[in-house]
Chain A
Amino acid sequence: MSLQLQAGSVTFENVTKNYGAVTAIDNVSFSIEPGHLVTLLGPSGCGKTTTLRMIAGLEHASSGRILIGGKDVTSLPATDRDVSMVFQSYALFPHMTVGENVAYGLNVGGLKASEATERAEEGLALVGLAGYASRLPSELSGGQQQRVAVARALVLEPEVLLLDEPLSNLDAKLRRKVREEIRDLQQNLGLTAVYVTHDQEEALAVSDRIIVMNRSVIAQEGTPRELYEAPASAFIADFIGDANLVTGEVTQSNQKTAKVRIESVEYELPNRGLGNGSTQIAIRPDSILLEPASANQAGIKGSVTHSTYLGNQIHYSVDSPLGELFVVDYRIENAIKAGSDISITFATKGMSLIAS
């Protein structure tokens, strides 16, 4: 397929979007490098979809500047922007065949009909749907419709491809397959892609970088690894993979490491600019180790309130002096019954200090 892609960058400079008295986006700035797949991640209502729609030109910024490929497009309507979008509902035109759908953008762009048809065929082949051009969208499965939507967006050779929760209408098994396909396509073509999702696992799986949004602002931006291993806030720690938030005390700190005391136990963790004093620590559920209580153990004492068997893992709810803890344990052979007293220890690889 001979796509002549000119992957473009996307830059937001202090962009704000108000709907009347409600602020949907509050002074947001970021920049996306050409050829990267960046995910906008966040709970519903956080402003991620509004951000995506502002890149598309479907919403216009109340203030600030938006640049695509270095050009200021702040006041340009969607029609005149060199981006295309894959919608959550796919938005395939039901009265047109698959081929007509894919050729639509080419046709309204003034391309000759024969050439548009040819390019549409190429686009369909790219997503593995060669030969489906004469079908109606309603005759395709959900996954196929989704690929048609991708093909329709790609044949326009956009500077930026936008994907709005593209997997949300697919069943769980198909989701993993399709997200791999999207990632492959994006990497092979060197596309700039902006991807919106509320599913943190999906975000971790497809992204070069993730921008986590919460309450109209960017909560943290970074690679999937950075976000998981060094969450900047309690919100990020909890949102990207589950986390138990406990309070501890930094007793000794230098540039690299900090000694933290949680209850009576001390742990040495990578320091993130903290001085001595009280702090919050995020602990991943699978880094909490439970052992049946016995007198000579060093751990924190607690008791199991619920124990849920899930096949390859067991979930525990634990009552402890630190508050209620959520624990995932893969050692299903030594399950602990609800009501048992236990002692709790933490594995340092799953602990991180919350910087703020």
Chain B
Amino acid sequence: MRTSFFPWLIMGWIGFAILPWYALEDGFWAFEWLIDGYPFDSDYAPALLQIFQDKGWLLPLFFPLLLPLRVFNRIKSDPKYASTLIISGGFGLAYLLGQGFSVGISGWEFDTLESLFGTLETRQYGMGYGALLTAGSFLILLTTGLAAAGNLRGDVFVTSAIGIVVALVATFVFLPVGKILVSAFVNDEGLYALSTFTDNFFTQKIWGVECLSTSVSCGVGLNSFFLAILTATSTTLLGLGFALVATRTDFRWKKSLRILTILPIITPPFVIGLALILLLGRSGTITQFVADLLNIEAGRWLYGLPGIWLAQTLSFTPIAFLVLIGVVEGVSPSMEEASQTLGASRWHTFKQVSLPLMRPGIANAFLIGFIESMADFGNPMVLGGNYDVLSTEIFFAIVGAQNDQSMAAVLAITLLMFTLSAFFAQRIWLGKKSYTTVAGKADSGIHAGMNPLLRRICLCVTIPWALFTLVIYGTVLFGGFVVNWGRNNSFTLQHYAEGFGIGWSEGSLVWEGAAWDSFWTTITISAIAAPLTAALGLLTAYLLVRQKFGGKNIFEFGTMLSFAIPGTVIGVSYILAFNVPPFELTGTAAILVLCFMFRNMPVGVRGGIAAMSQLDKSLDEASLTLGANSFTTLRKVILPLLRPAIVAALVYSFVRAITSVSAVIFLVSADHNMATSYIIGLVENGEYGIAIAYSSVLIFVMLSAILLVQKAIGERKLRRTNRLAPQSDTTKSPTNSAPMEKQA
């Protein structure tokens, strides 16, 4: 309201006329350019000087930077004000991006442009400080103009926030995914052809059905699909069993079952597979024991479908449990009581009332299991054997000897088709159907107990499974302390020393261990990504919950989309999209941070939506009518009340960044190696000991982070109650000595 566009215009000019326009070779945080030929060296020159060297196509950028000066003195209700800013910002942004995509490192990017303007002798690199700052300035000018034109009640902050989120999601979700779609149609000569896609897509490699009749394995697409169906079924059933035990029985340890739910959050995805190898692999403990006992040959059955299925079921059952526990609890007890007073037996009540009410939730858990299994990279990587699935094949298409980008793109599209179909099914089918029976008011009554047979079945399945999970984690914990699991089981600290050794040399600390490098990189990058992810997620949630604007559904869909994009697809698409100008990011730490931000953003959005929906909207409105603008309202009223959600989002994005592997493995570089990809490397070399040791260190770090934060939140609550405690005294005699005129 009281802010003017002027500071943003100045920002644009700084980007255009002062800062280096292009990305610097030495990285974003290197400042050698200041003493190394700036401002005239063409690598470091600002756009203003580049124009006069050999990059004449930057000249039109003067226009949108000068035009706003015309309305400098006008008030914002003047129609000229709005239209001028919209034209400047819109044109500036469009032209800046247009030239960025048109002129690349080898001159014109498009043949039509080449034939139109002739061959271009010069070339340009990715956008640097200057270009990014100017682009940001144009974006804000555009949104300021749109707000002045009366959009969103003229609220500049909200308009700009939407503009920024849209721009970011477009750049870091839609651009890469679009790129992958396009590159599936590019053949070896770099030409676009539909046949490239169809040839790659309709192959035995993806859709082959030989395995049904012969011993040859099926296509990877079918393999993935089959695996995903198996995993989704088993995790949903087990999850339902756990949920029923936790809510409908008097099982003594049911509280501790809930601990299961935080396990997948803090477990890097391949760790389960690794532990399974140690237990059930050819030389695994259990395998050896059984082989000795029955005097049979130890088999390799674990490597392949059974192993992946087992690992995924172990990994994702807690997620299904988490989803279903809410569903099972959500069935209003009064419905079950009603059924029982009408004379139905427990079994009948469960079958006819409770189960149908849970059905959408069960379907939801199934679809989540399906998507998780499809997207899983770590377990198939470790346990795959000859059973190829899409997520790993994508990786090998890029990284292996073949380096076939269009093949990778086609595989990625196939994978995307599966996950997006599940995602759409979930949103379309379940989005409208709400069987939630929890109303605003407290629902008294107790859930019906389970029919004895069902109860016995649930306990018989879940208890052994919970114990098995415990054994698995025990293996992870102890695996790092034995010399060579299965062969030489004597205690050693050797693996930890190798990975995390600290030495003294010449009076200073030396990080000798081989793992320190990737460990600190992981912690640093995750710590940078966490607040950015949380901020982006919560800002988006705020816009979704609190603001009304056209296209909100599309906006929501776009922000949640990255949830359904498997990490491997993100990884490939980031390589394809950000390897070339105008956004040259591969090999930097920034690409890792950005990848985490947009992969984990849906988590922040969901958490934010849940928390914000519980805040009475009249709080915002009260703040607005008291003269605060929407930004102040967000800062002073909403954010302080959202503190628990903010902390949760921070922790969750931090932890997810640490455990992420599928996308990361494409994006790491020698300078920025991450813990998970380092561990995968160790596993491939058969160095299980140190891999397990490293994994348990990660789990330990994440667990302490979570516990620390929970303690912090807990204490905050405690303080709050302390503040409330003397209430009974103070209501009678206010601590303040000012006289009371009235007593209510």
Q: Which residues of A contact B (CB under 8 A)?
A: 56-58, 60, 75, 77-81, 83-85, 87-89, 91-95, 104-105, 108-109, 121, 125, 128-136, 138-141, 143-144, 147, 152-153, 156, 162
Which secondary structure characterizes the binding site on chain A? loop
A87–B622 CB distance below 8 A? yes
B727–A139 CB distance below 8 A? yes
B626–A131 CB distance below 8 A? no
> Quick one: which of B625, B739, B741 contacts A85, CB cutoff 8 A?
B625
B738–A87 CB distance below 8 A? no
**When each residue 1-14 of chain B gets 1 if its CB lies under 8 Å from chain A and 0 otherwise, what string results?**
10000000000000
B625–A141 CB distance below 8 A? no
Q: Which residues of B contact A (CB under 8 A)?
A: 1, 77, 150, 153-155, 616, 618-619, 621-630, 632, 636-637, 640-641, 723-724, 727, 730-731, 734-742, 744
> Quick one: which of B618, B625, B632, B637 contacts A84, CB cutoff 8 A?
B625
Cα-based distance from A77 to B621 in the complex (angstroms): 11
Cα-based distance from A88 to B616 in the complex (angstroms): 11
B154–A132 CB distance below 8 A? no
Cα-based distance from A105 to B738 in the complex (angstroms): 23
Cα-based distance from A81 to B621 in the complex (angstroms): 13
In the complex, what's the smallest C-beta–C-beta distance from B48 to chain A, in angstroms?
38
A134-B736, A136-B724 known; A91-B622 Cβ under 8 A: yes
Q: List 15 A-B contacts (CB under 8 A).
A: A77-B153, A79-B629, A83-B625, A85-B621, A88-B618, A89-B616, A92-B622, A93-B637, A105-B627, A108-B632, A109-B627, A128-B744, A131-B736, A135-B734, A156-B626
A139–B625 CB distance below 8 A? no
Cα-based distance from A159 to B13 in the complex (angstroms): 43
Chain B residues whose C-beta falls within 8 Å of the C-beta of A92 in the assembled complex: 622
Chain B residues whose C-beta falls within 8 Å of the C-beta of A135 in the assembled complex: 730, 734
Interface centre among B623, B626, B627, B736 (most CB of A within 10 A): B626
B626–A108 CB distance below 8 A? yes
Identify the closest chain B residue to A60 (Cβ).
Answer: B153
Chain B residues whose C-beta falls within 8 Å of the C-beta of A143 in the assembled complex: 744
B627–A85 CB distance below 8 A? no
Interface centre among B627, B630, B723, B724 (most CB of A within 10 A): B627
Cα-based distance from A131 to B731 in the complex (angstroms): 11
Known: A77-B1, A121-B738, A125-B741. 4 other contacts (CB 8 A): A88-B618, A93-B637, A139-B731, A141-B744
Cα-based distance from A104 to B624 in the complex (angstroms): 11
A156–B627 CB distance below 8 A? yes
Chain A residues whose C-beta falls within 8 Å of the C-beta of B736 in the assembled complex: 131-134
Cα-based distance from A134 to B723 in the complex (angstroms): 11
The 10 A-B residue pairs with the shortest CB-CB distance, nearest first, are: A128-B742, A105-B626, A91-B622, A131-B738, A91-B618, A131-B736, A108-B628, A78-B624, A87-B618, A85-B625
Chain B residues whose C-beta falls within 8 Å of the C-beta of A87 in the assembled complex: 618, 621-622
Cα-based distance from A131 to B740 in the complex (angstroms): 7
Identify the closest chain A residue to B150 (Cβ).
Answer: A75
Chain A residues whose C-beta falls within 8 Å of the C-beta of B636 in the assembled complex: 104, 108
B741–A128 CB distance below 8 A? yes
A91–B621 CB distance below 8 A? yes
Chain B residues whose C-beta falls within 8 Å of the C-beta of A139 in the assembled complex: 724, 727, 730-731
Cα-based distance from A133 to B738 in the complex (angstroms): 10
Chain B residues whose C-beta falls within 8 Å of the C-beta of A141 in the assembled complex: 744
Identify the closest chain B residue to A138 (Cβ).
Answer: B724
Cα-based distance from A129 to B734 in the complex (angstroms): 10
A77-B1, A77-B153, A125-B741 known; A85-B622 Cβ under 8 A: yes
In the complex, what's the smallest C-beta–C-beta distance from B118 to chain A, in angstroms?
51
> Quick one: which of B619, B632, B741 contacts A91, CB cutoff 8 A?
B619
Cα-based distance from A87 to B618 in the complex (angstroms): 7
Cα-based distance from A139 to B736 in the complex (angstroms): 15
Identify the closest chain A residue to B728 (Cβ).
Answer: A139
Identify the closest chain B residue to A149 (Cβ).
Answer: B622
Cα-based distance from A151 to B736 in the complex (angstroms): 18
B734–A131 CB distance below 8 A? yes
Identify the closest chain B residue to A99 (Cβ).
Answer: B736
Chain A residues whose C-beta falls within 8 Å of the C-beta of B154 in the assembled complex: 75, 77
Chain A residues whose C-beta falls within 8 Å of the C-beta of B1 in the assembled complex: 77, 79-80
In the complex, what's the smallest C-beta–C-beta distance from A145 to chain B, in angstroms?
9
Chain B residues whose C-beta falls within 8 Å of the C-beta of A81 in the assembled complex: 625
In the complex, what's the smallest C-beta–C-beta distance from A151 to chain B, in angstroms?
12
Cα-based distance from A156 to B622 in the complex (angstroms): 13
Identify the closest chain A residue to B738 (Cβ).
Answer: A131
> Quick one: which of B150, B627, B637 contacts A79, CB cutoff 8 A?
B627
Chain B residues whose C-beta falls within 8 Å of the C-beta of A125 in the assembled complex: 741
Cα-based distance from A80 to B736 in the complex (angstroms): 35
Cα-based distance from A306 to B740 in the complex (angstroms): 51
B623–A104 CB distance below 8 A? yes
Interface centre among B155, B618, B744 (most CB of A within 10 A): B744
A104-B623, A105-B627, A152-B626 known; A136-B723 Cβ under 8 A: yes
Chain B residues whose C-beta falls within 8 Å of the C-beta of A58 in the assembled complex: 621, 624-625
Chain A residues whose C-beta falls within 8 Å of the C-beta of B632 in the assembled complex: 108
Cα-based distance from A81 to B740 in the complex (angstroms): 33
Chain A residues whose C-beta falls within 8 Å of the C-beta of B744 in the assembled complex: 128, 140-141, 143-144, 147
B77–A75 CB distance below 8 A? yes
Identify the closest chain B residue to A56 (Cβ).
Answer: B625
In the complex, what's the smallest C-beta–C-beta distance from B37 to chain A, in angstroms?
47
In the complex, what's the smallest C-beta–C-beta distance from A269 to chain B, in angstroms?
46
Chain A residues whose C-beta falls within 8 Å of the C-beta of B77 in the assembled complex: 75
Cα-based distance from A93 to B620 in the complex (angstroms): 9
B739–A130 CB distance below 8 A? yes
Chain B residues whose C-beta falls within 8 Å of the C-beta of A133 in the assembled complex: 736
Cα-based distance from A338 to B132 in the complex (angstroms): 85
In the complex, what's the smallest C-beta–C-beta distance from A69 to chain B, in angstroms?
16
Interface centre among A56, A57, A77, A138 (most CB of B within 10 A): A77
Cα-based distance from A205 to B727 in the complex (angstroms): 35
Identify the closest chain B residue to A146 (Cβ).
Answer: B744
Identify the closest chain A residue to B616 (Cβ).
Answer: A89
Chain B residues whose C-beta falls within 8 Å of the C-beta of A152 in the assembled complex: 622, 626
A131–B727 CB distance below 8 A? no
Interface centre among B622, B624, B737 (most CB of A within 10 A): B622
Identify the closest chain B residue to A108 (Cβ).
Answer: B628
Chain A residues whose C-beta falls within 8 Å of the C-beta of B737 in the assembled complex: 131
Chain A residues whose C-beta falls within 8 Å of the C-beta of B150 in the assembled complex: 75
A89–B618 CB distance below 8 A? yes
Cα-based distance from A91 to B155 in the complex (angstroms): 22
A94–B153 CB distance below 8 A? no
Cα-based distance from A85 to B627 in the complex (angstroms): 11
A94-B641, A95-B641, A128-B742 known; A57-B727 Cβ under 8 A: no
B626–A104 CB distance below 8 A? yes
Chain B residues whose C-beta falls within 8 Å of the C-beta of A75 in the assembled complex: 77, 150, 154
Chain A residues whose C-beta falls within 8 Å of the C-beta of B734 in the assembled complex: 131-132, 135
Identify the closest chain A residue to B737 (Cβ).
Answer: A131
In the complex, what's the smallest C-beta–C-beta distance from A41 to chain B, in angstroms?
21
Cα-based distance from A93 to B632 in the complex (angstroms): 14
In the complex, what's the smallest C-beta–C-beta distance from A191 to chain B, in angstroms?
15
In the complex, what's the smallest C-beta–C-beta distance from A163 to chain B, in angstroms?
12
A133-B736, A147-B744 known; A79-B640 Cβ under 8 A: no
Cα-based distance from A329 to B727 in the complex (angstroms): 48
In the complex, what's the smallest C-beta–C-beta distance from A219 to chain B, in angstroms?
27
B739–A79 CB distance below 8 A? no
Cα-based distance from A60 to B622 in the complex (angstroms): 16
In the complex, what's the smallest C-beta–C-beta distance from B602 to chain A, in angstroms?
27
Identify the closest chain A residue to B736 (Cβ).
Answer: A131
Chain A residues whose C-beta falls within 8 Å of the C-beta of B629 in the assembled complex: 79
Chain B residues whose C-beta falls within 8 Å of the C-beta of A89 in the assembled complex: 616, 618
In the complex, what's the smallest C-beta–C-beta distance from B387 to chain A, in angstroms?
53
Chain B residues whose C-beta falls within 8 Å of the C-beta of A56 in the assembled complex: 621, 625
Cα-based distance from A92 to B623 in the complex (angstroms): 9
Chain B residues whose C-beta falls within 8 Å of the C-beta of A147 in the assembled complex: 744
Cα-based distance from A156 to B153 in the complex (angstroms): 23
B627–A108 CB distance below 8 A? yes
Identify the closest chain B residue to A143 (Cβ).
Answer: B744
A79–B730 CB distance below 8 A? no
